């Protein structure tokens, strides 16, 4: 025997109110019709669900025993309809899952490109995930992201890349530091100095690109968890330490206390857009082509 879910909904409504009149109002149906539908359900089940008299309605023992199962059915139906509604919205508004590295907003090209995606593809909903580049590359490779911007040479053979922007490496120091007088700083100039660095595990290729030359020249690397933030700049000022990074510029209020000098022994850091070599969802393919057109 299969029971119509609508009848189960009516049973729960009457059980919740213990009133056919109030349940009918809740369900927006006529009370006599609701009563007849409950009788129909009782006939199908083979026992009565309610004890009725002229003034009161109460659950029978069988009705009370069945109520929790009926509620479970209603919760499952609600979940079903919610899921169907979400899938319908996704069909109506395609989803693009995009990965963004921390601080990638400092690349004007990345900001402009993401804005271009949204402007040229207004029907696509862009969902962004922030993470370090190796994590984003892994998510693109396994399909949990469609596209990702990456910083540094994080390579996966399953992916293809296009370079979006390049940023030179700079050295940050106090304005009264001897290095502030150099037109260009080289790795040999950092011997015996302390350079603030992020943890290598976060992005090994980028870490090696930025800091290997300094370390090989005799600099000491010290992990700073506030890398590229204003607090990181303050650590440089307060601790007589140095910073090596890209794209970041000191805020105006620190310009008289801090100097930024080109660092010669590090190649430009690349911001790239990555995708799987296999077929992408249409939204991903469209964004990939938009990026190609913008670069050309």
Q: Could you read off the pLDDT tens digit of each residue along the chain, which spans 296 residues?
A: 577 888 899 999 999 989 998 888 888 888 889 899 999 999 989 999 999 887 789 999 999 999 999 989 888 888 787 777 666 655 556 889 999 998 888 999 999 999 999 999 888 889 999 999 999 999 999 989 999 999 999 888 889 999 999 999 999 999 999 999 999 999 999 999 999 999 999 999 999 999 999 999 999 999 998 887 888 898 999 888 999 999 888 888 888 999 999 999 999 999 999 999 877 788 889 999 999 998 87
Are the C-beta atoms of 245 and 151 separated by less than 8 Å?
no
Residue 126, Cα to own-chain centre: how many angstroms? 10
The residue count of the chain comes to 296
Q: Which helix (H) or strand (E) holds 39?
A: helix 31-45
């Amino acid at each position: 025997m299969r029971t119509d879910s609508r009848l189960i909904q009516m049973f729960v409504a009457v059980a919740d109110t213990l009133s056919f009149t109030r349940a009918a109002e809740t369900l927006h149906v006529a009370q006599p019709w609701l009563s007849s539908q409950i009788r129909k359900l009782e006939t199908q089940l083979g026992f009565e669900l309610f004890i009725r008299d002229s003034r009161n309605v109460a659950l029978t023992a069988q009705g009370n025993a069945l109520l929790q199962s009926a509620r479970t059915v209603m919760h499952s139906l609600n979940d079903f309809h919610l899921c169907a509604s979400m899938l319908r919205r996704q069909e109506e508004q395609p989803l693009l899952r995009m990965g963004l590295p921390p601080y990638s907003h400092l690349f004007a090209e990345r900001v402009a490109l993401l804005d271009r995606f949204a402007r040229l593809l207004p029907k696509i909903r862009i969902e962004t995930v922030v993470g370090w580049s190796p994590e984003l590359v892994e998510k693109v490779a396994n399909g949990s992201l469609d596209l990702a911007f990456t910083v540094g040479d994080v390579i996966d053979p399953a992916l293809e890349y296009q370079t979006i922007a390049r940023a030179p490496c700079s050295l940050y120091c106090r304005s009264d530091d001897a290095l502030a007088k150099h037109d260009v700083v080289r790795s040999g100039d950092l011997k015996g100095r302390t350079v603030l660095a992020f943890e290598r595990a976060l992005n090994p290729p980028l870490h090696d690109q930025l800091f290997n030359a300094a370390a090989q020249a005799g600099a000491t690397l010290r992990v700073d968890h506030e890398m590229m933030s204003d607090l990181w700049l303050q650590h440089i000022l307060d601790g007589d330490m140095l910073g090596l990074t890209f794209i970041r510029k000191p805020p105006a209020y620190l310009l008289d206390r801090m100097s930024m000098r080109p660092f010669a022994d590090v190649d430009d850091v690349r911001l790239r857009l990555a995708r799987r070599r296999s077929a992408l969802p249409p939204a991903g393919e469209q964004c990939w082509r938009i990026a190609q057109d913008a670069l050309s």
